[in-house]
Amino acid sequence: MPKQGDINQPTDPVSALVAQLQASSKYGGTAESTLRDVALQALHHYRGKAALKEARRKLHNIVADYLGDPDYEAAAAQIAAVHNDSAALRTVCAQIAEAHTSTRERLRLLDSFYPRLFALTGVPDSILDLACALNPVLIPFMGLPPTTRYEAYDLHRERVGFLNRFFEVVHPAGRAFEGDILVDPPTQQVDVVFIFKEVHRWEQRRSGSSRALLEALQAHWVLVSLPAQNMTGRRDLSDSYRNLFHKVIAGKNWEVIEVHFEDEMVFCVHKT
Ligand SMILES: C[S@@+](CC[C@H](N)C(=O)[O-])C[C@H]1O[C@@H](n2cnc3c(N)ncnc32)[C@H](O)[C@@H]1O
């Protein structure tokens, strides 16, 4: 029986571990579905403090806050101030994209990145950007019509809040959703899905999770990218990550076209 005053304390071990993670400053802003999934996995092998330690170890890699964040309040205000001036908007969006490693690395490829991908897929009417981080702020460089439905998913609450403020003024046909797409894969029909620079981490989180997601997606094209170099630019990762990707889709009869950029490889999977 819970004691008086303990009425709000979760009694099952998974909920208790989730509550502990939610109370931490580092993981309090992470989607509950992610915390629950990680807690469940940790409790398969550990109990008590060891389970908490294991959950935090997993979350370090999943949330990856070492990749960087802008000041979201300031970024939203900057965008609101310049959104009617396309040149100024591009400058501000590029500055915001600098704050996160994945988009910072993509900035130097921008002249060719989206044009080469859309030359293959056609300019999409609908896009899902999964595990998006700050990639949607590159919309002013994508050459999309304002009508393109752009749905972005991330497990980082503050990032999602900022992206919705960005969409409101820059691309009203877009929307960001907080959630864990490995736990709840989106299944709406779209032209193109972006899954950029995340599959290697998902395979560490749970081997086979990327394949299950690729199978669930209802899209003409799924564009999966992986880094071609490590973060310092000193190690070539292209062979090992190409092998990883081909292991993920082994046995599938999907057509795959690889588009190679200086430090990012994109595997364009044609599902239909
Ligand atoms: C390495 S960044 C990739 C960013 C972006 N795709 C890009 O290349 O510009 C990883 C992002 O994916 C998010 N993420 C990781 N796993 C996720 C999941 N299962 N569901 C939703 N978001 C996820 C993280 O919160 C983080 O914002």
Please tell me if the CB atom of residue 171 comes closer than 6 angstroms to any atom of ligand 1.
no
Please tell me if the CB atom of residue 152 comes closer than 6 angstroms to any atom of ligand 1.
no
Residues 23 and 99 in one domain: no
202 found inside a domain: yes
- pLDDT of 6 reads 53
Residues 177 and 221 in one domain: yes
Residues 147 and 208 in one domain: yes
Residues 41 and 24 in one domain: yes
Question: Could you read off the pLDDT tens digit of each residue along the chain, which spans 272 residues?
Answer: 445 545 567 779 999 999 999 999 999 999 999 999 999 999 999 999 999 999 999 999 999 989 999 999 999 999 999 999 999 999 999 999 999 999 999 999 999 999 999 999 999 999 999 999 999 999 999 999 999 999 999 999 999 999 999 999 999 999 999 999 999 999 999 999 999 999 999 999 999 999 999 999 999 999 999 999 887 878 899 999 999 999 999 999 999 999 999 889 999 999 87
Please tell me if the CB atom of residue 64 comes closer than 6 angstroms to any atom of ligand 1.
yes
Helices (H), the chain: 13-22, 32-45, 48-63, 72-82, 86-97, 101-107, 110-121, 157-170, 199-205, 209-216, 238-248
Spatial strand order in the sheet of 174-178: 174-178, 149-154, 126-130, 190-196, 219-227, 264-270, 255-260
Please tell me if the CB atom of residue 126 comes closer than 6 angstroms to any atom of ligand 1.
no
Ligand 1 nearest atom to the CA of residue 106, by list position: 9
Task: Output phi, psi for 226, to 5 deg.
Answer: -140, 150
Cα 154 to middle of ligand 1, angstroms: 6
Ligand 1 nearest atom to the CA of residue 194, by list position: 6
CATH of the domain at 21: 1.10.8
Please tell me if the CB atom of residue 193 comes closer than 6 angstroms to any atom of ligand 1.
no
Residues 134 and 199 in one domain: yes
125 found inside a domain: yes
Residues 52 and 132 in one domain: no
- pLDDT of 1 reads 46
Residues 142 and 235 in one domain: yes
181 found inside a domain: yes
Residues 200 and 231 in one domain: yes
Residues 53 and 87 in one domain: no
Closest CA to 39 of 50, 113, 164: 50
Residues 100 and 232 in one domain: yes
Closest CA to 205 of 41, 25, 32: 41
Distance between CA atoms of residues 80 and 186, nearest Å: 29
Residues 53 and 113 in one domain: no
Cα 46 to middle of ligand 1, angstroms: 27
4 found inside a domain: no
Ligand 1 nearest atom to the CA of residue 133, by list position: 27
Distance between CA atoms of residues 11 and 6, nearest Å: 9
Domain holding 58, by residue range, is 13-63
Of 93, 155, 192, 230, the one to substitute when testing ligand 1's pocket (max ligand atoms within 8 A of C-beta) is: 155
How many structural domains are present in the chain? Answer: 2
Please tell me if the CB atom of residue 182 comes closer than 6 angstroms to any atom of ligand 1.
yes
pTM: 0.95
